[in-house]
Every structure is written in structure tokens, then in C-alpha cells.
Amino acid sequence: MSYLISVQWYYNNMQKADLLNKLTQQNPWWEGDLSSLEGIESVKRDLFPKIIKSLDLKMITSIIGLRRTGKSTLMKQVLKYLLKHKTKNVCYFSFDKALLSSTPNLLEEIIEFYIYEHLKTSPAELKEQVYIFLDEIQYIDYWQDVIKRYYDISSKIKFIVSGSFSSYLSLKSTESLAGRVFEYHLTPLSFHEYLRLKYQKNLKRKSNLNLRLLKHLVRRRQASLSKFQKQYQSEFEDYLLTGAFPETLNFDNDRQLSYEYIKSSVFEKIIDSDIPKIFNIDKKYELSILAKCLIQDSSSIYEAKNLAQDLGIDQETCARYIEILEQACLIGRIYKYSKSLRKHARSSKKAYSASANLIAAILNIDPRQNILFQELSGKLVENYIFERLSYNFENVCFFRERESEIDFGFGDGLVKKKSDLVWLEVKYKNNVKAKDLKFFKKFLKAEGIKEALVITKDLLKVEIEDQTKIYYVPALLV
């Protein structure tokens, strides 16, 4: 018996030593070493102030987003802010780097070790606020159950968690965190975030699809605005190809290297590794082909039945795969406008890529092939507008009547009729002709809509027609 006890004691202490090693590696500031945070960018994402504001609330702060968009960097920036301005009671752990198969109770062990061993207290006896950062937590089964237990024990524990799946709050859990979570979506870089990171300075102009601010922008068009357009127009088209992922800014404008990075570190990593870890996928190759089809045909109406026939899988499996791709933040979907919720669920659907960069990488777009690039640039811009709309607004849809279509309607709150939304058409060209907007203007007049937007290449003006104000705004200002 004594031999068994000694073996168990040795095993437990080896486990504790291994955990201590993992934690100290990821938390060097516990020993006063802040060097690992020195390289964290000083320029912040638009989401940063919202996360900082959430730190004063007991509710769990959840950050979701596509792989390689900078969730870990954002968490480290928030962590650095806490160390500098508030407290040293900070613990960080990334499950993306952990050997999870050998440590089934890793999450609970981390929390227990940090509070009992490092802080020398218990959860119920905490006197000061502590902040626990858990990065890529979706790899832990039933993590919600563990966090809820500590959340309910102590008001002094603040959890900040991140995940690459939009559904990770409900995956593999017996407990619900409803009412205990503030969820924030970190998107790929907007154009204005890209400029800030590239030039390491905080530009005054920010990405915004707020109609009031865009109207103000149009009204006060000045030389400075024209200068901004001339200076950054070519930058915008570079951004559409490779600039939405922070790490590609380090590749010295090497487009092919950026494409390889986007395909291997984002697309293939999600398809080959992330999704199989979370979901039971029988046909990974078909999933990959389906994802590529939806991404390269971004902005197109799709039918699961037709896609299933093309891929040689059943329709139910195809529909499930599309939902998984959306949960993995690889694609987004919008529906044709309908005032009936029941009809809305059955209406036509469009799929968009999570980033225009994914389209460019998968299609290997070369801007030197001018004719092809001109055709595809409109698709990339429309996808970019979708990204900004879906991030900023609760309701995003499109409208279609026979063969005519309006790209987007968007807004917040209750939508009872078409005029409750702002309607937007993407016309990424130098010269927008009357025939380009014939159906759009007819629709606006018929529905009594007073204001609308047209996204252009370089046209900035306001036009009044049939008592409707149409604001023309260059895409790079959005």
C-alpha cells in the first residue's frame, strides 16, 4: 500500500510541476518579467476600449473571431493594461498551445493552482479582484460548467475568454452561461485598422457605416478628403487582397507569401484541425471543397440541395457543413428581406467569405491581370462591405425581385417594413451610370425611402431624386 501511495504522490507532484511549468511559461510577469509584452502592438484595435470597459463588470467577457485575426494579441494588450494600471492579479493560459490529451481536467487545475498555490487563498476568500484570461477555450470540453461554478462562488473572479467558433458558448456543456456573458466579435482588420497597424499611428478617420457620420462626411468634402483618397486608394486595393490579417503586414508586400499564409494558417488550419477537434466530420475533403465553393462564389445565392448534388453528399449533411463553416467564422450568411420571420427562414440565402483576403488567396488573384482584377474587385469590395455591416448592425439582408437585386439593407432593432432599413448598393467603379441604379432608385421611390447609400470607387457626392437623398461614398472611407 505504501508503495502505491508513494507512486501516487510522485505522479501528483510531477503533474503539479508540469502545470507550474506551463503556467510560468505563459505568465512570466509573475516573476517580474514583462519582456514578452514589450512586442505587443501599441496601436489598438477598435474593439480594445470596449473590452477595457467590460473589465469593471462581473460578467464573463467573451471574444470570438476567425483564426489569426489577433484575439491573443488583443487579450495580451488588455492584460498589459491591467498590469500597468490596475493589478498584478492576472493569469493567462492559451489552450491552443497545451497538450490537452494528457490533462483532461486542465481548466480546473489551472484555476485551482492559480488561486490556491499562487495567490495562497481560496475562491470564496478572495479579497481583491483577479483576472483570468483563457485563450482558445473551445478546445476544453464542458468548460462552461467549470467557469460557472467559480463565477457563482466569487464575485472577485473576472473571466476573459476567447474562441474561434461563434457557437463555442454552447458546445459540449450541461450548464448555460446565459445572462453571464458579454460577447464581442473580433473581425479581420478593417481598412482603417490596417492603416493604423501598418504605419503604427492612430489615424483620426475610423471605419464606420453609421449613416449620420457618412452624411456628415459627404457634406464636408474638402481637399483633405481628396488627399486621403489619392494617398490610400492603391493601399485599399492591396488591403483587399492581403491586408486583413495582422501578420501579413510583416511580409514586405509579398503577395504570394501572404496568400500561402492565409490558406495554410487560416483556411486549412480550420478545415483540417479546428473543426475536426470540435465536430464529428465524416467527409473532410468534401467540407474543404464546399468551403472553397462558398468563399470563391461569395455574394452569390446558394441552394444546399444543388451544392450537395455537386459534391456527392446528402442535402442534410451539406446543410450541417454550411452551419459548421459559419460557426467556425469562415463564412457569413444573409437572407432575402421578408417581414415574416417564418418566410425569412425559408427565403433565399447568400453566403459571404469572412474576409475578402480569403477570396483573393483561394482564387490567387493577380492585380496585374487588369481585366480579371477589375471584374473581381467589385466582388471583393462587396464582401468587405458585408464584413463591416455584419459587424456593426443587428439586421443585414438583401432584396431580390425577379432578376433584379439590391445588395444590402441594414439597421438595428425591430424591422416591420423595408423603410425601417437603410438600403445600400455597391458600385465599385469610377463612373456610376444612371442605368446602374435604375432598379435601386425605382425601389427607393416605391417604398418611400428617404435616404440610401451607394458605395463607389472614388465618387463622393449627395444626389436628391424624388425626395430621396442618395449618398455616394468611396469604399475606402467605410
| 315 part of a folded domain | yes
Q: Report the C-alpha gap between 68 and 357 in whole angstroms.
A: 12
Q: Give the residue from 136, 151, 186 where a domain finishes.
A: 186
- Rounded CA Rg of the chain: 25
Residues 153, 214 share a domain: no
Q: Which three cell numbers stand for residue 345?
A: 427562414
Q: Where are the beta strands (DSSP E) in 87-129?
A: 90-94
Three-state SS at 140: coil
- What is the structure's pLDDT at 10? 38
Considering the domain boundaries, does residue 5 fall inside one?
no
Helix axes 284-296, 315-327, angle to 10 degrees: 70
Q: Are 207 and 176 within one domain?
A: no
Q: Are residues 432 and 461 in the same domain?
A: yes
Give the pLDDT confidence score for residue 477 in this predicted structure.
Answer: 85
Query: Given this model, what pLDDT does residue 175 score?
Result: 67
For residue 1, is it within any domain?
Answer: no
3-class SS letters over 396-415: EEEEEECCEEEEEEEECCCC
Kindly state whether residues 223 and 84 are assigned to the same domain: no
Measured in degrees and rounded to the nearest 5, phi and psi for residue 11 equal -65, -45
pLDDT at 4: 40
Looking at residue 99, its pLDDT comes to 54
Which triple of cell numbers denotes residue 385?
Answer: 462591405
DSSP 283: -
- Concatenate the DSSP letters of all residues of 216-281 into one string: HHHHT--HHHHHHHHHHHHHHHHHHHH-SSGGGGGSTT-HHHHHHHIIIIIIIHIIIIIHHHHS--
Through-space distance between the first and last CA atoms of the chain, rounded to whole angstroms: 71
Mean pLDDT by 10 residues, the chain (478 residues): 42 66 92 87 90 96 95 96 96 77 77 95 97 92 91 97 81 74 94 91 59 60 61 91 96 95 97 90 93 97 95 94 96 90 72 98 89 86 96 93 94 89 94 94 95 91 88 88
Q: Which strands sit side by side in the sheet containing 130-135, from one edge to the other?
A: 90-94, 130-135, 157-163, 60-64, 181-185
Tell me the one-letter amino acid at 201: K
CATH number at residue 44: 3.40.50.300
CA torsion sign, 43 to 47 to 52 to 55? Answer: negative
Query: Nearest to residue 67, comparing CAs of 354, 365, 363, 360?
Result: 354
Please identify, among 170, 186, 202, the residue that sits at the C-terminal boundary of a domain.
Answer: 186
Indicate if 173 and 42 belong to the same structural domain.
Answer: yes
Residue 212 is predicted with a pLDDT of 60
Residues 6+ apart with CB under 8 A from 19: 103, 106, 109, 110, 113
Q: How many domains does the chain have?
A: 2
Same domain, yes or no: 100 and 236: no
pLDDT at 217: 60
Spatial separation of the C-alpha atoms in residues 8 and 46, rounded to whole Å: 50
* pLDDT for the residue 283: 87
Question: Is residue 328 situated within a structural domain?
Answer: yes
Rounded Cα distance between 452 and 449, Å, is 8
Q: Which domain holds residue 63?
A: 14-186
- For residue 317 the three cell numbers come to 449533411
Q: Are residues 252 and 211 in the same domain?
A: yes
Question: Is 3 contained in some domain?
Answer: no
Scan for cell 492559480, then name that residue. 114
208 and 111 share one domain: no
Q: Is residue 220 part of a domain?
A: yes
Residue 347 lies in a domain: yes
Distance CA 277, CA 163 (A): 13
At which of 155, 186, 217 does a domain end?
186
Regarding whether 215 and 154 lie in a shared domain, the answer is no
| Host H or E run for residue 392 | helix 370-392
Any domain includes 6 = no
In this structure, are 182 and 196 located in the same domain?
no
User: How far, in Å, CA of 158 to CA of 133, rounded?
Assistant: 9
* Pair 49, 181 in one domain: yes
> Are 259 and 158 within one domain?
no
Nearest to 360 by CA among 295, 434, 447, 450: 295
